């Protein structure tokens, strides 16, 4: 989610629409070059979507590939396209693989499709024949998940077998026709070194965050939509020792923790009768009874924030979570609001005392105007002074301008030693004071 510096491994096709083909048209006779290849790819894709059984999900790769190979051969024969063996293999590989530079697919009705590449939205040439054509594709995606979309249940938020997240909303709630959003996640989690290589943060910041995780500090990762919160959380979780019992709690499972002793819990929406819902808050409460060493909550959105604070304040140190917000300070305001959503009448000062006691560090990310994601602030929560929670930036990203469409700036320490350094050193982790020194670098990052 942080950029395009990763390699592009191949991945088999699925029944989901692939945002790399041209719109459905009647191809001119004997098209040449790229136009010819796009025309063939379009015909193969459309025939695949029309002929593949709706019961075949994205996890049934073998059946999808067999059907695709047959359709591919028949299409080449029908179009009388002469291809060498190498051209044939290259074209088939292009149809089979997904473009790994695409991180989101956004379909706004049958005539408007956008994709996100490297953090920037661009309109795709894909078009659907009509609303019914798009509706059939949506049904093909959600049916294997045991979900359905109709007027009685016009919204679906679910996880595909490959880990991608899919959201569907249809009329009458959507006024532009059926809308489909698919967010792809990397099949291999980004390591912290990868993020350093993508200039999402510096090596010094990465070393500091590693020390915070090892020292069991409670860390909140904040940022806007698609700013890279889950990616950074995955990277930080790699520093959790392998002998600890970890419980992850998510609305839709996205985390890719690599440790062996992990219990993954996922919330459940209500069924068509409105029953059977299991909320994040219920899972957090239950997790406290499962003897966790660490609790990792994919994202706090509501009343579960209160239970998360209680967990952090009752011996479950080293917890990690994410939250949507515009800044580190705004994160605390949002958590205050979410605690009040729990329906428990608490004085505001008591809520703030709980927050100040529970949170040690806030790591804030932003998606910049050029599509890059960066850690723009690493902020210590120092405690209370009067009715105000005191915070102090330890690292910051300073934006100095934009050159040829690329954001210019530099990372810098703030020259301040955090108060919890004694706790970090008590775990046998020692950092040079120089990592907090202000930076003089003002080159492009």
Which of 183, 203, 218 is the endpoint of a domain? 183
Q: 124 lies in which domain range?
A: 33-183
CATH of the domain at 365: 3.40.50.300
Q: Report which listed range, 21-30, 107-116, 198-207, is most confident.
A: 198-207
**Claim to verify: residue 166 and residue 229 sit in the same structural domain:** no
Helix (H, G, I), strand (E, B) or coil at 421: helix
Token duo for residue 156: 């679906």
What percent of the chain is modeled with pLDDT above 70? 81
pLDDT band at 170 (very low <50, low <70, confident <90, very high): very high
Global pTM reads 0.76
132 contact partners, CB below 8 Å, separation of at least 6 = none
Residue 187 gets the label, from left (phi > 0), alpha (psi -120 to 50) or beta, of alpha
Total count of domains within the chain: 2
Residue 38 has pLDDT above 70, yes or no: no
The residue-averaged pLDDT of 208-224 equals 96
CATH of the domain at 160: 3.30.450.90
pLDDT band at 204 (very low <50, low <70, confident <90, very high): very high
**Claim to verify: residue 248 and residue 384 sit in the same structural domain:** yes
Q: Does residue 359 contact residue 384 with C-beta atoms inside 8 Å? A: no
Q: Does residue 4 contact residue 101 with C-beta atoms inside 8 Å? A: yes
Dist. CA 311–CA 308, nearest whole Å: 5
**Claim to verify: residue 178 and residue 248 sit in the same structural domain:** no
**Claim to verify: residue 286 and residue 412 sit in the same structural domain:** yes
Residue 411 has pLDDT above 80, yes or no: yes
**Claim to verify: residue 321 and residue 209 sit in the same structural domain:** yes
The residue-averaged pLDDT of 44-55 equals 60
Residue 381 in domain: yes
Residue 328 has pLDDT above 90, yes or no: yes
Which of 183, 209, 229 is the endpoint of a domain? 183
Residue 104 has pLDDT above 90, yes or no: no
**Claim to verify: residue 331 and residue 273 sit in the same structural domain:** yes
**Claim to verify: residue 159 and residue 285 sit in the same structural domain:** no
**Claim to verify: residue 235 and residue 360 sit in the same structural domain:** yes
């Amino acid at each position: 989610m942080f950029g395009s510096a990763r390699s592009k491994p191949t991945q088999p096709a699925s029944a989901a629409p692939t945002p790399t083909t041209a719109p459905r048209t009647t191809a001119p006779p004997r098209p040449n070059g790229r136009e010819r290849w796009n025309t063939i790819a379009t015909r193969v894709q459309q025939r695949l979507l029309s002929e593949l059984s709706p019961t075949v999900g994205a996890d049934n790769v073998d059946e999808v590939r067999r059907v695709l190979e047959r359709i591919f051969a028949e299409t080449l024969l029908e179009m009388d396209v002469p291809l060498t063996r190498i051209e044939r293999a290259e074209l088939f590989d292009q149809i089979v693989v997904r473009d790994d530079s695409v991180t989101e697919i956004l379909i706004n009705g049958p005539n408007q499709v956008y994709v996100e590449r490297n953090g920037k939205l661009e309109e795709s040439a894909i078009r659907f024949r009509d609303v019914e054509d798009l509706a059939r594709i949506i049904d093909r995606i959600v049916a294997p998940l045991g979900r359905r979309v109709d007027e009685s249940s016009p919204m679906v938020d679910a996880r595909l077998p490959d880990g991608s997240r899919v959201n569907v909303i249809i009329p009458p709630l959507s006024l532009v026709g059926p809308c489909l959003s698919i967010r792809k996640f990397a099949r291999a989690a980004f390591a912290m070194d990868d993020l350093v290589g993508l200039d999402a943060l510096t090596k010094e910041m990465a070393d500091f965050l590693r020390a915070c995780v090892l020292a069991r500090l409670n860390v909140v990762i904040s940022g806007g939509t698609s700013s890279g919160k889950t990616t950074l959380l995955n990277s930080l979780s790699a520093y959790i020792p392998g002998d600890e019992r970890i419980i992850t709690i998510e609305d839709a499972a996205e985390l890719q923790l690599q440790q062996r002793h992990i219990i993954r819990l996922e919330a459940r929406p209500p069924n068509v009768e409105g029953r059977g819902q299991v909320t994040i808050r219920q899972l957090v409460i239950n997790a406290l009874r499962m003897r966790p060493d660490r609790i990792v909550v994919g994202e706090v959105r509501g009343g579960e924030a209160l239970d998360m604070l209680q967990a952090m304040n009752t011996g479950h140190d080293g917890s990690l979570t994410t939250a949507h917000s515009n800044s580190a300070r705004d994160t605390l305001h949002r958590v205050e609001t979410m605690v009040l959503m729990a329906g428990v009448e608490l004085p505001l000062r008591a809520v703030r005392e709980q927050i100040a006691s529970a949170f040690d560090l806030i790591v804030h990310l932003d998606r910049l105007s050029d599509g890059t994601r960066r850690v723009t602030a690493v902020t210590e929560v120092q405690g209370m002074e009067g009715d105000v929670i005191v915070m102090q930036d330890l690292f910051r990203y300073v934006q100095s301008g934009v050159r040829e469409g690329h954001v210019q700036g530099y990372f810098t320490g703030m020259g301040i030693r955090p108060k919890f350094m004694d706790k970090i050193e008590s775990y046998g982790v020692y950092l040079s004071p120089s990592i907090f020194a202000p930076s003089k670098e003002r080159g492009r990052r």
